[in-house]
Structure 1
Amino acid sequence: MYQPVLAPVADSLALSALVACLPLLLFFVLLGGLRLKAHWAGLASLALAVVVAVVGYGMPVGPALLSASQGAVFGLFPIMWIVLTAIWVYRLTVVSGRFEDLRHAFGLISDDPRIQAVIIAFCFGGLLEALAGFGAPVAITGVMLVALGFSPMRAAVTVLIANTAPVAFGAVATPIITAGSLTGIPHEEIGAYVGRQTSLLAVFVPLLLVALVDGRRGMRQTWPAALTAGAAFGLAQFAASNYVSVELTDIIASLAGLLAVVLLLRVWRPRGGEQARAGLLRTDGATAPAAPADPAAPVAPAGPAGSGARAGDAGAVGTARILMAFLPYLVVIAVFSAAKLWTPLKEFLASTDLRIGWPGLDGTVLNAAGEAAAGTVYTFPWLSSPGTLLLLSGLLVAAVYRIAPAEAVREFASTVVKLRLSLLTVASVLALAHVMNLSGQTITIGTWIAGAGTAFAFFSPVLGWLGTAVTGSDTSANALFATLQQTTGDKAGLDPTLLVAANTSGGVVGKLISPQNLTIAATAVGLDGRESELLRGTLKWSLLFLLALCLLVFLQSNVLGGMLP
């Protein structure tokens, strides 16, 4: 039996935490500083994590390696299974010739690239996050922006930043439900707190998106639409999480944001759309990689001078073609709504999950409290996984589009080949996370940070940020630290629910720099191996958002306590 010790290095918690941080520091130095390919950075950091576990924490070599193997399998299924099927669904729309119609369809709302960024990356991406999560929004909206004339790099950074505010309630509020199940705090209560934190962040995200697309001019000319989308999303997220349903929060918020923009554009149009598009193409043309997002994708050129979708062109497409263009996403919404919201089907799907005690590991590892570690049981959601639901959606789309089965299979195989390095990257990163979790490295870091006492209210979002940055999942971050946050709150005289919610909200902005999410974005838009550039483009915004959340939670713990339920 192996039981981790909180301070194995010289009986010093601070020194042990520093040693435990070494694999994370190595990963970010290799990825962001030395610009090493993500899969090499992941493998090197994994190797160091195993060394720290064995030498620093005294974990036997066998369990350390078995922990890595379990993490790698989890990274492949269900994590990369979701990404694989999401991109395959997109490829089906491309080979069917319908994706070009989808580009034109967005011209019905606006042909301004700044507005399109808000509609697609923020509103549509939020809807996908609500239903699927786990990278699907980044993958799908990223390729959509590329098809509309955005460079791969600009598209990837835009969708990564847009995929922040919806994350806490993503996959039908899975992160919040997980925190509730671990802490015993009703998940409705946690969701109400989170809704009073991330909803404020949501107001400003669309403003940042238009600034990324067109700088200060973009903010000056399109702020009414950006603020309308952000305010509608934020208000709906607050109202739904507190008074309607935690599970439906992001669905309601995304549709509210989209509807608000559509209504605004009926009476107001921004100036400078043509100049913004011309500037976008001029800048992007100088920085775009030689290879397109997908060399095999038969996406038509954007038109003369890369003009992209026009409202007039969109109208010429016709209602039937527009509906067929949106069919894959309507199917995805229908399938996920039925699977997540219809209780009999939801319970049936959950009943098919296979819980497997990892051979050689389960029953041999304890947590720091001396109890059997829950992380040694691998859940195989072969039918309930969002990836499987996306596969079902793709099969339905292929049937309606009349795509030959052989062609659909070829597209699936080519997607696997295209994702081969991404599969290795995510597997190595999740292996790293599992080794750190089961060896005790993660709990050492968290306990050291929790030593701040009452000032911990300021630092509490950092734990969620750290957990999500490493694992790529706000759900995993809550699995790591929700109970620790609750315990610290009880000991420090702070509201435990506030700290658990802060952990969830911190994870929202940690996803911006998650290696898993960076890899998904890079792969989706054709920037394989350039994750380090994406990290440099998103890190400052992640830290800025994190600072804002830290200040908000600290104020909510005292002078702004009236903001809480």
Structure 2
Amino acid sequence: MGSDWHAISAVMPIAVILVLMILRGWPASQAALVGLAIALPLAIFVFGFGVGEEGIAMRFTGVVLEAGTTTATILWIIFPALCIFELLRRHDAFDTIKQALGRITDDPRLLALLVAWFFALFLEGAAGFGTPVALAAPLLVSLGFPPVRAVTIVLIGHATGVSFGAIGTPVFAQVSITNLPPLVLAAQTALLHVVLCIVLVGAVYWLAVPGGRRNGALRARVWPLPAAVLCFIVPFYGLAAFVGPELPTLLGALIGGVLFSGLLALVRLSHPIAEKATVVVEGHGWLELSRSLLPYGILILLILFTRLVEPVRVLAGSVVWSWHLGDQFSGQVLPLSHPGTLLFLSFVVGGIVLGERGNGLVRCASLALRRLMSVVLALLGMLALARLMVHAGMVDALAMLVAEAAGPSWPVFAPMIGVLGTFVTGSATASNILFTDFQAETAGILGLPLLMMVAAQCFGAAIGNMVCPHNVIAGAATVGLEGKEGDVLRRTTLVGVVYGLAGGGLVWLLVAGL
């Protein structure tokens, strides 16, 4: 009976968060605080949190400090990423990108691949946190797509890159929890997407044109589908396996988009889908497009320089800020090699090159900071809950419950935990924060490989982005679809379930083969 009560008590905080967010529509910040308020007395009176010499006050202080450290490291990525976004919006960069796309093709399926696959993935890698849907869906509407279809295919198309969104934030959150090597975890997570992302690209390609317009000519033109997949996944996996979590989505989408655009220009498809294939070749056009992508170009160079040049990599990693409290609580930050530092340098240098003075940069930063405030409490609350549950032994109790129920078949269901976390919290990063410890403990109890199960969590958290109500509502709002979010969610849910189950099957096969 004691173990049953422990398991029930461990489930309660997460169950309350699910109910408040799914059934009551509460924001993640408020739901996390309620979950924390419930978890603390359970941790003290049921799990004995605070028993011993350290006492409750010291141990709770340790939990808050760990949560605060991780929150700060994540916010230092989000803030400069949003600064760059505001800088580019100030310089009408996204209008320039839209004009460039219009010169490449007018085939709706190819436009869907360019915008909902490559462009949305690029935005996900650069900024994340809802930016792809907010920018790519209105762009598709301006190119002639109906609003429901525009939001749907962007939500589906950008999901592959969410695992490495905002310069690798979801992976770095897991690294801070598990201490797994970032390069190894990035490669394993990328592998799952590489094998299965044809499902998402196929859905984007198929949904781009209404059924009644899929005539014989359209059905016969299948080469763009595998071409779009290969143009992205080759650099995507190479960057994940040999560089790290920061660039797979951002640079993979940029390289892939350029390659795919070049293929379209070479093929020059003919009537009835009038293919203009006149990629921006004029010097002025290339110059404007290059200016629009300048801060990201600087960022790519900085990341490659600090990761691949050995003396620079060693120097960047030599500065460590760390703290310890007792024997159980600690935290550390590498400020020089942190992605947020490189992002901020890219923002400042890019802004100066674009002609911004101090006031312009401060204006962009203030707008970014305003958007950031709504994220702070949600991150801190979720992280505090996660660290409390770990140190109190509540995650151990949850893992034991799942291990007994699922047994060896757990790998099949592991990605769906990630999906659930993102569905509830609205963020793949928050999902990883909430459930990575749980996946790790379950793996330990069942004797499963830790790396594989943590990668399954990150994979599932990315899928959750396409069915997350927060993203659906935000995307619908950008194209004037308030009240019709259900139409979008019905379409994305089917694709998300298929992709999630396929991911679980792949994880099971890989675990069985180890």
CA contact (8 A) 2:440 2:454 kept: no
CA contact (8 A) 1:89 1:394 kept: yes
DSSP-derived class of the 1:355 partner? strand
| Amino acid in the other structure paired with 1:141 | P
Correspondence for 1:46 among 33, 36, 47: 36
CA contact (8 A) 1:178 1:478 kept: no
Over aligned residue pairs, what C-alpha RMSD do you find? 4.6
CA contact (8 A) 1:46 1:432 kept: yes
Q: 1:387 to 1:165 in 2, by over 3 A?
A: same
CA contact (8 A) 2:84 2:295 kept: yes
Q: Does 1:57 align with 2:47?
A: yes
* 1:70 shift after superposition: 2.9
* 1:325 shift after superposition: 1.6
Correspondence for 1:321 among 269, 288, 304: 288
Q: Residue in 2 aligned with 1:550?
A: 504
Q: Residue in 1 aligned with 2:72?
A: 77
Q: Residue in 1 aligned with 2:398?
A: 445
DSSP-derived class of the 2:332 partner? strand
Q: Residue in 2 aligned with 1:509?
A: 460
* 1:402 shift after superposition: 1.0
| Amino acid in the other structure paired with 1:137 | G
Q: Residue in 2 aligned with 1:421?
A: 374
Alignment of 1:23-422 (within 5 A): 23-60=13-50, 61-62=56-57, 65-66=60-61, 69-70=64-65, 72-74=67-69, 76-111=71-106, 114-124=109-119, 126=121, 136-146=127-137, 148-150=139-141, 161-166=156-161, 175=171, 194=189, 196-210=191-205, 216=211, 221=218, 224-234=223-233, 254=253, 257-259=256-258, 261-266=260-265, 267=267, 269=269, 318-357=285-324, 362-363=325-326, 372-373=327-328, 376-422=329-375
CA contact (8 A) 1:464 1:502 kept: no
Residues in 1 aligned to 2:44 and 2:352: alpha-carbon distance in whole angstroms: 52
| Amino acid in the other structure paired with 1:480 | D
Residues in 1 aligned to 2:363 and 2:182: alpha-carbon distance in whole angstroms: 43
CA contact (8 A) 1:199 1:233 kept: no
* 1:312-368 alpha-carbon deviations (Å, 9 max, x no partner): 9996962222221221221222222223333322222222231122xxxx22xxxxx
CA contact (8 A) 1:178 1:479 kept: yes
Structure 1 unaligned spans of 5+: 1-9, 275-308, 364-371, 491-495
DSSP-derived class of the 1:86 partner? helix
Aligned residues: 487
Q: Residue in 1 aligned with 2:53?
A: none
Structure 2 unaligned spans of 5+: 51-55
Q: Residue in 2 aligned with 1:305?
A: none
Q: 1:429 to 1:189 in 2, by over 3 A?
A: closer
Q: Residue in 2 aligned with 1:280?
A: none
The answer to which of 112-121 and 391-400 deviates more is 112-121
* 1:36-70 alpha-carbon deviations (Å, 9 max, x no partner): 23332232223223233233323235356435533
* 1:20 shift after superposition: 1.6
Q: 1:557 to 1:430 in 2, by over 3 A?
A: closer
* 1:259-298 alpha-carbon deviations (Å, 9 max, x no partner): 5532442325599989xxxxxxxxxxxxxxxxxxxxxxxx
* 1:140-177 alpha-carbon deviations (Å, 9 max, x no partner): 43443155254999777655544443455675799499
Residues in 2 aligned to 1:259 and 1:39: alpha-carbon distance in whole angstroms: 39
| Amino acid in the other structure paired with 2:315 | F
CA contact (8 A) 2:151 2:476 kept: yes
Correspondence for 1:432 among 385, 388, 397: 385
* 1:200-229 alpha-carbon deviations (Å, 9 max, x no partner): 221111223345655656988586434432
Q: State TM-score, norm by structure 1.
A: 0.70
Residues in 2 aligned to 1:356 and 1:237: alpha-carbon distance in whole angstroms: 35
* 1:428-451 alpha-carbon deviations (Å, 9 max, x no partner): 222222222222222322232223
Q: 1:348 to 1:428 in 2, by over 3 A?
A: same
Q: 1:193 to 1:319 in 2, by over 3 A?
A: closer
Residues in 2 aligned to 1:263 and 1:218: alpha-carbon distance in whole angstroms: 26
Q: 1:327 to 1:552 in 2, by over 3 A?
A: same
Q: 1:103 to 1:51 in 2, by over 3 A?
A: farther
Q: Does 1:11 align with 2:2?
A: yes
CA contact (8 A) 2:13 2:36 kept: yes
CA contact (8 A) 1:464 1:504 kept: no
Percent identity over the alignment is 22
* 1:507 shift after superposition: 2.0
Residues in 2 aligned to 1:177 and 1:406: alpha-carbon distance in whole angstroms: 33
* 1:405 shift after superposition: 0.5
Residues in 2 aligned to 1:88 and 1:213: alpha-carbon distance in whole angstroms: 32
